[in-house]
Amino acid sequence: MERKAAANAPAPLADSVAPARRVPPRLCVVYTAKNSTRTLPRSIAAMREIADRIVVVDSGSMDGTQDACRALGAEVFHQDWLGFARQKQHAIDLAADAEFVLLLDSDEIPDARLIDSIRGVMQTSGSAQGWWIDRRYWFGGDYVRIDAPDRVLRLFRQGAGSVPFREVHEVVRVDGPTARLSGICRHESWIDLEDALTKQLRYARMSASAPHARSSLAKLAFNPSWAFFRNYVLHRSFLDGWRGFQLSLVVAMGTLAKHLMILDRKRR
């Protein structure tokens, strides 16, 4: 009877076998986005080649951005807009399980050489904690020399990078040595001239509203002209023809608007 009972005894529960452990991702690419179907799907498609995980923090898209990202295998999280710096820091926090974090804007598309360079970083050990990327602006279907060279710190080891609070033009801060990656990140910031003007005015308004914003009549007279000269002559935007002239003037107009707003606030 005892042998029969033993034979009919239920099999041991599966908890006696150690569950499979999830392998942490080596590279997590994080984006912040809103209404970004123009560029974000192309960026995600490029990064799928090397990314173990892709995270998109969306602040309320109405153009199908979320569905397009999920269709490409990205994880999409909704977060009401916190401001540029806080929104990006929130995206970084969601990648806490990754060894490397790459922070990209939704309108930034790495080229093949940059992707190979990132792959090389992950395959070799070194002392660097963060890596700079060369970013180039595209407008009207071609490269323009606005703010060239434009280098941004976007790739970093987990825990080494953060985004300190700033009203606008936020940057990544890395604790430790940094290096530079080869290749470029294509920055398709502006749809057309009207979009460029709209964004420059928006950035001007945010910059002017910052508590530390300062201006003077001298800055109002000098800074816009210097902004135009710097881009059109020193950065050689004149080589880009009409597009270079347009964007150099747009940047100068944004500078003018910022100082006008600061002085107007001061007078009031």
- High-pLDDT (> 90) share of the chain, %: 80
pLDDT at 243: 94
Residue pair 173/164 in contact by the 8 Å Cβ criterion: yes
Question: Is the confidence at residue 121, as pLDDT, over 50?
Answer: yes
pLDDT at 229: 97
- Determine the Cα angle at 44 with ends 39 and 47, to 5°: 130
CA gap 134, 19 in Å, rounded: 43
Q: What is the 3-state secondary structure (H, E, C) of 55-89?
A: EEEECCCCCCHHHHHHHCCCEEEECCCCCHHHHHH
pLDDT at 17: 42
User: Does residue 177 have a cis peptide bond before it, meaning omega lies within 30 degrees of 0?
Assistant: no
Residue-wise pLDDT tens digits, 143-168: 999 988 899 999 999 999 999 988 77
Question: Is the confidence at residue 20, as pLDDT, over 70?
Answer: no
Compute the average pLDDT of residues 91-110: 96
Residue-wise pLDDT tens digits, 45-81: 999 999 999 999 999 999 999 999 999 999 999 999 9
pLDDT at 23: 67
Query: 148 in helix, strand or coil?
Result: coil
Question: Is the confidence at residue 6, as pLDDT, over 50?
Answer: no
Q: Give start and end residues of each alpha helix (H) in the chain.
A: 2-7, 40-47, 65-71, 84-93, 112-123, 193-209, 217-229, 241-267
Residue-wise pLDDT tens digits, 208-249: 988 888 999 999 999 999 999 999 999 999 999 999 999 999
Query: Which helix (H) or strand (E) is 136 found in, with range?
Result: strand 130-139
Compute the average pLDDT of residues 30-41: 97
pLDDT at 75: 97
Give CA separation, 262 vs 20, 35, 186, 203, 220, in Å: 59, 30, 32, 13, 10
Q: How many helices (H) and strands (E) does the chain have?
A: 8, 11
Higher pLDDT, 44 or 17: 44
CA-wise closest residue to 258 among 214, 182, 205, 202: 205
Q: Which residue has the tokens 């502006």?
A: 190
pLDDT at 22: 59
Average model confidence (pLDDT) for the chain? 90
Contacts of 221-230 with C-beta under 8 Å, sequence gap 24+, read 223/255, 223/256, 223/259, 224/252, 224/253, 224/255, 224/256, 224/259, 225/252, 227/251, 227/252, 227/254, 227/255, 228/252
pLDDT at 236: 95
The pTM for the full model equals 0.85
pLDDT at 12: 41
Higher pLDDT, 213 or 182: 182
Question: Is the confidence at residue 14, as pLDDT, over 50?
Answer: no
Query: Domains in the chain, start-ordered, CATH in brackets?
Result: 27-187 (3.90.550.10), 193-267 (no CATH)
